[in-house]
Chain A
Amino acid sequence: MSGDVCIVGIGIHRFGRTDGLSGVDQGVFAVRQALADAGIEWPQVQFAYGSSDAAGNPDTMVDRLGLTGVQFINVRNGCAAGGSALFSAQMAIKSGEFDIGVAVGFDKHPRGAFNAMPAEYNLPDWYGEVGQMVTTQFFAAKIMRYMSLFGISQKTLGLVAEKAFRNAVHAPHAWRRQPVSLDEILDAPLVSDPYTKYMFCSPAEGGVALVLASEKKARELGKPLIRLKAATMRTRPPHSFEVFAPSVDVVEDDTGPRGTASRIASADAFRLAGIGPGDIDVAQLQDTEAGAEIMHMAENGFCADGEQEQWLAEGRTEINGALPVNTDGGCLACGEPIGASGLRQVYENVVQLRGDGGGRQVPDAPKTAYSHVYGAPGVSAVTILER
């Protein structure tokens, strides 16, 4: 294939809670908006990849979009499902088989924490019976160790959450659009130490769709070329520390960070794109909790472990900072519908590269944008876009 895969259409159903609309409804809404944005009709779509964890099979939406016989593949990959659908979609075009297709993700979760069952993760029943089948425990323990190794303060976690809610004020698709003060964040009840309730995202609802096209097709459509320079998806290495793990490997020297799926997917993406972390103008990093954004800054190569304390203090990840991170408020403000979440990050990056961010627009016409999503049991997907 000559040329890059391009994103020529984007659509989103607002995140949060939408009573009366199913997850599939929200996915269909997003697809229709993305098709209109691309200036095409559903019968022109040659293939689709859809991700949902808890809201049904995405391929069922052909009922609503049109029974064109299109090939439509369902993807499940933990919280990296959306990123995995996008990875798959770009491969269909890269292979030369297709010119234009859709990646769509949606979800609709019940209130409260995710409620995974041990058997779904090849774990014994007792692990859930004793109260350890709880994602928040793992995320809290991961940042607790990181803080003790690299001197990150709880105040810095609070600054991440404060930024998320402040950015989301300007994002119409975000769930929580009220600013919350740093003091209120830090003084709120603890959910799992060191995290207060404002430092965790909540399971939510929403839908996102992207129309992908070959460069040739994108030029025909007359769309601005938003190039997908890399889309990678990787699983965990040995010795990594993951959610839903009754045990973790010991290592000889445990004074540094361990390998993660994110580190592999990130290094891979930068290699494919032929650029480095210093070349990125805006980034969306998985922030299911405030500490995840902190750790993912380092896991994706943007800073050294421990430098985040200074980065946040200096406002370097603010919208007008050196590397704006989670410009739409991320998972903290948007919530996490598993199937849609990774695609929301890419949606936001396209908005930023088009210069359509309004009150949350990154200044000076950003040219490169990075997204990263992480899920159980140790899967990560990364994309790099270039204008």
Chain B
Amino acid sequence: MRAIAEGLFTDETPPRLIGGKDRETGRIVFPCPASEGYDAVPLSRDGTLWSYTVQRFRPKTPPYAGPEAFSPWVVAYVELPGEVIVEARLDDVAFEDVKVGMAVRFAPSPLDLSDPESPLIPAFSPAAGGAA
């Protein structure tokens, strides 16, 4: 399966997100800017939920490229300790169980869950062992 864009994930199994580290300040951002001032760095797989919401309506197309059929999803901001907070989806959890501070792990998922050919997008799932 392929990522929705080049340079988002590492090639390893399981993959990690690739951030960009500012060569002068050390500040890490995601995604890695296509600029020579940044070094690509693999980001931590494990983090905690910094904030979230639920996307309950189908975003407008364009730019949204997901399936016509819509199911709400969790929009997560995940803090990767000492690195950066990234915006991604949070899967495999009931909406009422989502809590700020819960432990999560990177697990990319298909943009269209019903289509095996669908590209992979940045996503996390609750880490085994429950909340932090």
Contacts and interface: CB of A to CB of B under 8 A. Distances in A.
A322 interface: no
Nearest to A147: B100
Given A247-B29, A248-B85, A145 B4 contact: no
A249 interface: yes
Interface residues of B, number: 43
A128 B56 contact: no
B27 interface: yes
B29 A137 contact: no
B52 A124 contact: no
Contact of B95 (A126, A132, A137, A193): A193
A250 interface: yes
A187 interface: no
A67 interface: no
B56 A191 contact: yes
Interface in A178-195: 189-194
Given A130-B4, A130-B122, A145-B50, A250 B65 contact: no
Main secondary structure of the interface of A (DSSP, over half): mixed
A141 B52 contact: yes
B83 interface: yes
A147 to B, nearest CB: 9
Contact of A129 (B86, B101, B111): B111
A351 interface: no
B38 interface: no
A190 B19 contact: no
Contacts of B100: 144-145, 148
B62 interface: yes
Contacts of B51: 141-142, 144-145, 148
A125 B64 contact: no
A137 B55 contact: yes
Nearest to A133: B63
A21 interface: no
Interface string B60-96: 1011111000000101010111111111010000010
Given A129-B63, A247-B87, 11 more contacts: A125-B5, A130-B111, A130-B121, A133-B59, A136-B53, A137-B55, A141-B52, A145-B50, A145-B77, A190-B54, A247-B28
